[in-house]
Amino acid sequence: MLFNSLHFLIFFPVILILYFSIPHRFRWAVLLAGSYYFYMSWKAEYIILIMISTLVDYVAGIQIYNAQSKLKKKIFLGLSLSINLGLLFAFKYFNFFSDSTRALLNHFAIPMDPITLKVLLPVGISFYTFQTISYTIDIYRGKIKPERHLGIFAVYVSFFPQLVAGPILRARDFLPQFYVEHKFEYVRAVEGARLILWGFFKKMVIADTLATTVNMIYATPSSYSGPYLIIATVFFAIQIYCDFSGYTDIAIGAARMMGFNLKQNFRTPYLSKSIGEFWKRWHISLSTWFRDYVYIPLGGNRVKVGRWYVNILITFIISGLWHGAAVGFLIWGLLHGLYLIIEIVFQPITGKIKINQYAKRFICLAWTFILVNIGWVFFRANSLNDAAYILTHMFTSTSDLILGGALIFVIITILFVMDLIYTSPKMISYWERLNKVKLLRWLVYIMLVFGLLLFGINKSVEFVYFQF
């Protein structure tokens, strides 16, 4: 079931009414039934995978907590990790590694017949797998106690607003909220509805409109000249942000209307002035997951410099592969790891450069945005050959250089002005005062709805991150 469908627009109000119509102690059942129905509307049999993850981690969590020896704790943690990661590997990565192995063996004249699994990728498997893994690891580390109520734990794993594309929830933040009796609050309902409306607008009006141009140019990049390749790449940067953050806005808004608080997943990432800052603003729930469960266990920055850099590269390579079983995603992750290492190496030098603060902000913002867009080329391109063509043909003539450079300068200038607006205390205070003007607020609502009716009402395009 897509958020941007008539199906969801009927489903969600029904769940909302049922949720607030019954006693608090039975509400988990409504959420669980609704979440399972929501997921089964894609492919019913794949609900079995969620149930397996739920039962395995429910039992493993209790056994880890009750175990008297560290060995027994490790056994049940290993059981949880092996089953969850095994399912993820089988459905998402088996064919990729099988094809890669076959190609490598064939290169050395060793014949191998192709071995592939003809299965569809279950939507959301990467998200709910990481969510349940964090639960058992946190119990093993002694940070949380296991959830004894199987029904509530099942809702934690399958909570429909964020089930398919996050944000990834931490048990210590989310599970306690089920034990608080939520009453319908008008203010929360308005806040949630506002977020949902804004999410729909970002997805259906901005992202899906830009996708038309991006898909056309990236389908046959060799048919277009430099400026078009630049436009398509920048459009994709905006598309994927509006698409993914739009989903997150709808998820957070729907949860808020029911009384639940989900953490922010994006914070104006394209206003970042470094790659390190970008990853504190982009897909925050995933970047913090990799920090806590991959980077820090590897040793983080508490090791020798060389090993520190290796830890960064490993973390980002795994992050790239998390997005998909393709070389392009691996290169995308590797690039961001290298970006961050280069920033760390040159920080002592760049930090000493004396320059006007506004010029420095502009340069840092522009440089970061350009680097991020280079990464997006590998993320979006249909093949490595296409990615190489795009990057090497963006500026192939003097006219392309002038037009492309002018376009980039305009975009960076817009971002710089936005950065000044977002960081200026006076501007923040000004926008807060404007938000209190009822007439102006309703005018914005009407414009958003009109935009949806005009550009998005006939569209039902899947969200980009559904493929991950």
Under the banding of pLDDT at 50, 70 and 90, the label for residue 317 is very high
Q: Are residues 196 and 331 in the same domain?
A: yes
Q: Which of 263, 250, 237 is nearest to 452 (CA)?
A: 250
285 contacts 263 by C-beta, under 8 angstroms? yes
Quick one: pLDDT at residue 427? 64
Q: 239-253, 259-273, 396-410: lowest mean pLDDT where?
A: 396-410
Tokens of 115: 């071995």
49 domain-assigned: yes
Tell me what the pLDDT averaged over the chain comes to. 87
Distance separating alpha carbons of residues 87 and 420, to the nearest angstrom: 46
| Residue span of the structural domain in which 396 resides | 187-467
In this structure, the answer to whether residues 125 and 194 fall within a common structural domain is no
Tokens found for residue 358: 């506004």
- Read off the pLDDT band of 434 (50, 70, 90): low
Residue 352 has pLDDT above 80, yes or no: no
Q: Kindly give the interhelix angle for 425-435 and 398-423, rounded to the nearest 10 degrees.
A: 70
284 within domain boundaries: yes
pLDDT higher than threshold 70 for residue 92: yes
Examine the fold and report which residue of 182, 197, 219 is the final residue of a domain before the chain moves on: 182
Residues 167 and 212 occupy one common structural domain: no
Query: pLDDT by residue (tens digit) across 268-308?
Result: 999 999 999 999 999 999 999 999 999 999 998 899 999 99
Sequence-distant (≥ 6) Cβ neighbours of residue 196 within 8 angstroms: 249, 250, 253, 254, 257
Amino acid (1-letter code) at residue 466: F
| In a shared domain, residues 414 and 399 | yes
Do 143 and 123 share a domain, yes or no? yes
Banded model confidence at residue 457, pLDDT cuts 50, 70, 90: low
CB 340 within 8 A of CB 290: no
Best CA proximity match to 317, nearest among 340, 301, 299, 297:
340
Same domain, 47 and 178: yes
- Tell me: do 373 and 286 sit in the same domain: yes
CA 198 to chain centroid, in Å, comes to 17
Does any domain span residue 1? no
Q: Give the model's confidence band at 62: pLDDT under 50 very low, under 70 low, under 90 confident, else very high.
A: very high
**Domain final residue pick, 118, 152, 182:** 182
Is the pLDDT assigned to residue 458 strictly greater than 70?
no
Q: Are residues 219 and 257 in the same domain?
A: yes
Sequence-separated (6 or more) residues with CB below 8 Å from residue 443: none
Residue 87 has a pLDDT of 86
Is 107 considered catalytic here?
no
pLDDT of residue 428: 64
For the chain, the straight-line distance linking the first and the last C-alpha, in angstroms and rounded, comes to: 16
**pLDDT exceeding 70 applies to what percent of the chain?**
90
| Higher pLDDT, residue 109 or 22 | 22
Report how far residue 115's alpha carbon sits from residue 99's, in angstroms, rounded to the nearest whole number: 8
- Residue 95 counted as domain residue: yes
User: Whose structure tokens read 């200026």?
Assistant: 424
pLDDT at position 108 over 80: no
Mean pLDDT throughout 405-420? Answer: 81
* Overall pTM surpassing 0.95 (yes/no): no
- Domain membership of residue 244 (yes or no) is yes
Domain presence at residue 109:
yes
Same domain, 178 and 191: no
Say which residue, 155 or 359, is predicted with more confidence: 155
Q: Is the same domain home to 113 and 218?
A: no
* 116 and 218 both lie in a single domain: no
Number of domains, the chain = 2
In a domain, 76, yes or no: yes
Marked catalytic residue, from 283, 323, 336, 393? 323
Q: Is residue 165 part of a domain?
A: yes
Q: Among residues 182, 212, 245, which one ends one of the domains?
A: 182
pLDDT at 411: 84
Q: Are residues 146 and 191 in the same domain?
A: no
- Supply the pLDDT for residue 327: 87
Q: How far apart are CA 431 and CA 28, in angstroms?
A: 38
